[in-house]
Amino acid sequence: MLNKLRLLTPGPTPLPERVRLALARDMIHHRKKTFMDMMGQVQERLRVLFGTQDTVLPLSCSGTGAMTAAVHSLFQPGQRVLVVDGGKFGQRWRQIAEERGLQVTTLAVPWGQAVDVAAIAEALKAEPAGVLIQYSETSTGVLHPVQEVAALTRESQALLVVDGISAVGLVPCPMDDWGIDCLLTGSQKGLMLPPGLALLALSPRAWKVAETNDSGCFYFNLPAEKAKLAKGQTLFTSAVNLIAGLNESLDMLLENGLDAVYAKQWALTMLNRAGLTAMGLTLLAPQHFAWGITSVLLPTGIDGTEVLRIALDKHGVCMAGGQDQLKGKIVRLGHMGWVDWADSLAGLHALNKSIIEAGGYCASRDYLESAMAAYHAALQGRPGQPLPNTHS
């Protein structure tokens, strides 16, 4: 009662009321006109979001399901692929590819850093059939230089497969312009929906591969999904209420143009980074950072699990910790989806108080004002300016 619960994890994210009311609508049939008309609207908007002329498929699965669908549809057992592994989700690409029977070359990147484009150029000489990468690596908050990687892969035969789960709707990723071959995302990040729906788009040359491939898994049949979507339907029973919610959230994302959304995400990122820096904390990703999640190292000797517990129990703020090798060592502050500046302020304050209560040191003056100053400066710097390119 004293605190509202504030969900500041890097997914799932809070839900706008418009979306929640759409989720609560009574059921309609997935093979009838009302639904098919809605799918048509959704498709038109998804193409804007993905920056593609081609089809964006809704799949009834989590983001990992879409990653699995991509690997099964685009590659055959025995083929070689290059996996960029700079965190838990890079590892996931490797696991999915291995389960598919691919020969995997791993380009290991220290957690918190982005992949070196030159290393990819070098690895492409071995002519892999594909490059599997995250745009935003959710476990670290790093943004890999996908645009630069795409500039290389589009000149090679390697298909560039991009996990955009914590990127799409948060940071620009125009797949056709950049030459991405497969872009996928989940519903519970920038799209402000509950988990359970994934979206996936392919380039024309990726479609050519998918259309002749045997996916080896009946549930993931992208060409058959595409044929069905041309009729406003999905291959199997659609996740009807998530599609209804998606139509609302896409309407919200597009109503002021995507640039306004990206500008907000950039400003929220500046807010979080400035606030954490003002506390004297060290950011995990110094240079190549995501626009929907900020990871920060905790003072040495402080138990991260305890920090998260205090933040939730005493201040009502739910943040995420580190995964695997970073467990207990970092806090990940989500600022994606239905999160605004005041939510981020709450996150910074809760983190500050919780670190101190857990026995750590961090500066507790001026960090909120510094954060807000950075936010406003970032927003004001926007008009007429191109969006910042974090990779240059």
29 binds its own copies (CB under 8 A): yes
Q: Residue from 150, 199, 239, 378 that binds its own copies (CB under 8 A)?
A: 239
7 binds its own copies (CB under 8 A): yes
Task: Please provide the DSSP assignment of 251-316 as one string.
Answer: HHHHTT-HHHHHHHHHHHHHHHHHHHHHTTPEES-SSSB-SSEEEEEPPTT--HHHHHHHHHHHH-
Output the six-digit token pair for 70: 């991509």
Output the six-digit token pair for 186: 């989940």
30 binds its own copies (CB under 8 A): yes
174 binds its own copies (CB under 8 A): no
Nearer to its own copies among residue 113 and residue 215 (C-beta): 215
Cα separation values, 241 from 14, 31, 166, 196, 308, Å: 17, 14, 22, 11, 32
224 binds its own copies (CB under 8 A): no
CA–CA separation, 302 and 167 (whole Å): 30
197 binds its own copies (CB under 8 A): yes
219 binds its own copies (CB under 8 A): yes
Q: Which of 184, 168, 153 is nearest to 62 (CA)?
A: 184
Q: Cβ atoms within 10 A of the Cβ of 138, count?
A: 29
From 37-45, 234-242, 267-275, 354-362, span contacting its own copies (CB under 8 A): 234-242
28 binds its own copies (CB under 8 A): yes
164 binds its own copies (CB under 8 A): no
Q: Which residue in this structure is represented by tokens 């936010």?
A: 375
Draw the binding track, 291-320, toward its own copies (x: CB under 8 A; -: no contact): ---------------------x-----x-x
CA–CA separation, 19 and 32 (whole Å): 22
172 binds its own copies (CB under 8 A): no
Size of site (CB under 8 A) for its own copies: 58
CB of 22 to its own copies, least distance (A): 9
Start-to-end CA distance of the chain, whole Å, equals 47
194 binds its own copies (CB under 8 A): yes
Q: Cβ atoms within 10 A of the Cβ of 101, count?
A: 12
106 binds its own copies (CB under 8 A): no
Q: Residue from 3, 32, 40, 205 that binds its own copies (CB under 8 A)?
A: 32
72 binds its own copies (CB under 8 A): yes
CA–CA separation, 74 and 71 (whole Å): 5
Residues that bind its own copies (CB under 8 A): 5, 7, 9, 11-15, 20-21, 23-30, 32, 60-65, 67-69, 71-72, 95-96, 99-101, 186, 188, 194-197, 214-220, 236-242, 312, 318, 320
